[in-house]
Structure 1
């Protein structure tokens, strides 16, 4: 066999063995440029649906309703470990193991317009390259630089994959961050591990744990917007009840730069501006919880919940 033929065979073998592996690794990935977002619907039909997220939230369009507060059960308990911090190429996600039943219940939420309890699944972030953009939802014409999503699964479904097939499958709590001069102690402990996940698909098991309440600080959780929508990433399943809190969290300029130092793994593509374009509200209703400081929780229970008379769409 001549050296030229041997070289050609070697190259062919290398291509046959490496290309499928590289394709399978990138097959699930997606981009955030406008042309890339328009292509999402080619692979995922739901991305062209009528009840998509995120949306522009405007107080003038929100219907004020008497409804229960969101109860965050177990948010004051230390999360089970080890917690996994992961750079998945389009966000930073925190994977949280399930709580050992012998040690108590896994954190869950209920209230608002939810008809069941929803168990914690994880959380992730969306952010921008500039302080004037980054959040997925826009609140009263303001696009904040960072938005955190805490994902919960309806406990009547055994896993997220099953839950995505139902309109009441998930509830996502959305929190906005504003840049301030001072370091935020609430998020500082997470950011210290970011240098360990700067590259695509890097992950680290945190050697500490924390409570969900500790990253929320003292913000007001009694007032919130809620609407029916979708995942903001492919497959864009219309299975999400969104709960958005207008009281903002803080993050310093130095701290938000930690997010912008992460890499997508694609040439010339730092992980910034990882937010989806706004979607039309269409025939959906946007609600805001009516807060009456003179009424106790028991008073609200006795008065009845008129939110049950309002559907998500009209």
Structure 2
């Protein structure tokens, strides 16, 4: 292979670029990066990396998939030579795609290197500076199925190396790992930790990292060609955290004070600086004042089959799994994945002294608090943030089985009560209607009963006074007493992302539909059916028709 050597400046090392050759992939491609594994993959590691002497190279953004998903188990092992974090997953494990990868790379394991003082311990140096420790995360190409098989291929394994700086305060990301150290002091011992998602440990980046090829030696005397990535973001550790590493024992029952490898010469190899972005005065970025959450995505498999997610993920991912559809819908309990979320929190719904208005809009009966009154607030469950009560409305029909808008297991009910709320982060209900997370509606299915429900009596008395279109009457929050507080706190419900069931039908609603129907007397239902519309005719049916939806768009929640 013919190559051209670029003459370095006084501060730069030699960078070797290929001349045009039929056997060399085009510069700028991912294949060109991979090409250098054939000539540089057996060069010794670790090395010093620096912006000076590196070759800027553009790649697609690196994507972190499933790193928020909780593993089934996390095991911490003291091998006698290093500390290994390994995981087991019931379904799809975390993986990387994009960046320098031509195929997705699966997370395999994590291990650490450290030194006997704060001045050394990292395998790699950056700008010729050493650090007290280093965390190395192993990924393997998915098509090879296992790390052992992937090591036999030059494109099989990638190692991401996080430098660990000294920090005055402990790094919270390391706490749940170090918590297990006392149980693995002796060599060849292991313990369970967590489990927590890998996003709790790994700083996730999509640009601004170094890449080079080099050899990975093993304690068994083997060596393999590996792609090495050193991100500019780092971890940090306090003196106390770093001291915990040195308390681990080696195979000879002595403290394993240091296990970092000696630095090797670069030997003219390429060090690529992938997608440079941040300040370039230093090769490593400063420690952030506040912990920054990385961006991780959910794989298509989990989006298609959300019931595969572990229970710990239901709270944070339920909102992501559901897509907005037109409402109302027919819900099948059998098809709904069953999750557990934080409890719903109803605040201020039973303050009986609050003044309100009950009105006949010509389409429904609407209950609203008077302006200036402190309104109830809904939070928890599938909702992100607080939602302010806007109004309560009803749907009904001329019989006792077609008056509810939603069907559950193909069963209908006499009526449906809907409590409409808007997201407190928007200045008004009208603004919230234009946002996908703008509205939350809590729905109750009303079941016809021979006996009247005394808790509806205040509402019934108000309905008697608004039979005509645009009639209004003063009322109090006592009309909400039919909502059983125990059922609201403990009762199971369905939730899905849908739309308003009245014009303009915006897809802006998080629906919450309680499974347990609320009894209402047949004579009490008559008070709804005798309300008149704008044409002075009885409103006998104000139910919107059902809409199709994916089977998993609704989720069954057990509080």
TM-score by length of 2: 0.41
In 1, the alpha carbon distance for the partners of 2:117 and 2:239 equals: 10
Counting matched residue pairs gives 237
The SS at the match of 1:230 is: strand
Per-residue deviation, 1:279: 2.1
Partner of 1:190: 177
Partner of 2:87: 96
In 2, the alpha carbon distance for the partners of 1:274 and 1:163 equals: 25
In 1, the alpha carbon distance for the partners of 2:159 and 2:273 equals: 16
In 2, the alpha carbon distance for the partners of 1:57 and 1:238 equals: 20
Q: Deviations over 1:242-268 (max 9, x none)?
A: 11112221111011111010010315x
In 1, the alpha carbon distance for the partners of 2:231 and 2:45 equals: 16
Asked whether the 8 Å contact 1:146–1:176 carries over to 2, the reply is yes
Asked whether the 8 Å contact 2:207–2:275 carries over to 1, the reply is no
Q: Following superposition of structure 1 onto structure 2, how do residues 208-227 of structure 1 map, counting pairs within 5 Å? A: 208-216=194-202, 221-227=206-212
Change (3 A) 1:122 1:50: closer
The SS at the match of 2:93 is: coil
In 2, the alpha carbon distance for the partners of 1:108 and 1:236 equals: 26
Which entry has the higher C-alpha Rg, 1 or 2?
A: 2
Partner of 1:69: 61
Q: Deviations over 1:8-61 (max 9, x none)?
A: xxxxxxxxxxxxxxxxxxxxxxxxxxxxxxxxxxxxxxxxx8422211112212
Q: Going by fraction, where is helix more abundant, 1 or 2?
A: 1
Partner of 1:282: 267
TM-score by length of 1: 0.71
Q: Deviations over 1:164-189 (max 9, x none)?
A: 11111101111011111112111111
The SS at the match of 2:72 is: coil
Partner of 2:125: 138
Change (3 A) 1:271 1:224: same
In 1, the alpha carbon distance for the partners of 2:277 and 2:73 equals: 41
Q: Deviations over 1:192-236 (max 9, x none)?
A: 110000111111122x2112111135x755210001112253445
Change (3 A) 1:228 1:151: same
Partner of 2:138: 151
Higher relative contact order (CA 8 A, sep 6+): 1
Per-residue deviation, 1:238: 2.8
Partner of 1:237: 223
Asked whether the 8 Å contact 2:46–2:123 carries over to 1, the reply is yes
In 2, the alpha carbon distance for the partners of 1:236 and 1:139 equals: 27
In 2, the alpha carbon distance for the partners of 1:246 and 1:236 equals: 29
Per-residue deviation, 1:239: 2.5
Per-residue deviation, 1:158: 2.4
In 1, the alpha carbon distance for the partners of 2:130 and 2:222 equals: 21
In 2, the alpha carbon distance for the partners of 1:229 and 1:258 equals: 30
Asked whether the 8 Å contact 2:72–2:90 carries over to 1, the reply is no
The SS at the match of 2:52 is: helix
In 1, the alpha carbon distance for the partners of 2:276 and 2:42 equals: 30
Q: Deviations over 1:122-163 (max 9, x none)?
A: 101000001110010111111111100111111111222211
1:179 aligns with 2:171: no
Aligned-residue Cα RMSD (Å) equals 1.9
1:111 aligns with 2:95: no
In 1, the alpha carbon distance for the partners of 2:100 and 2:205 equals: 18
Change (3 A) 1:232 1:125: farther
In 1, the alpha carbon distance for the partners of 2:205 and 2:145 equals: 32
In 1, the alpha carbon distance for the partners of 2:218 and 2:133 equals: 16
The SS at the match of 1:259 is: helix
Q: Which of structure 1's runs of 4+ aligned residues deviate more than 3 A?
A: 232-236
In 2, the alpha carbon distance for the partners of 1:191 and 1:57 equals: 28
Change (3 A) 1:50 1:95: closer
**From 134, 150, 159, the counterpart of 1:163:** 150
Partner of 1:258: 244
Q: Going by fraction, where is strand more abundant, 1 or 2?
A: 2
Q: Unaligned regions of 5+ residues in structure 2, if any?
A: 1-40, 279-559
Partner of 1:124: 111
Per-residue deviation, 1:280: 2.5
Q: Unaligned regions of 5+ residues in structure 1, if any?
A: 1-48, 294-314
Change (3 A) 1:191 1:292: closer
Per-residue deviation, 1:292: 5.1
The SS at the match of 1:60 is: coil
In 1, the alpha carbon distance for the partners of 2:66 and 2:152 equals: 27
Q: Following superposition of structure 1 onto structure 2, how do residues 28-47 of structure 1 map, counting pairs within 5 Å? A: none
Q: Deviations over 1:63-101 (max 9, x none)?
A: 0111123211111221x232111000110001211x323
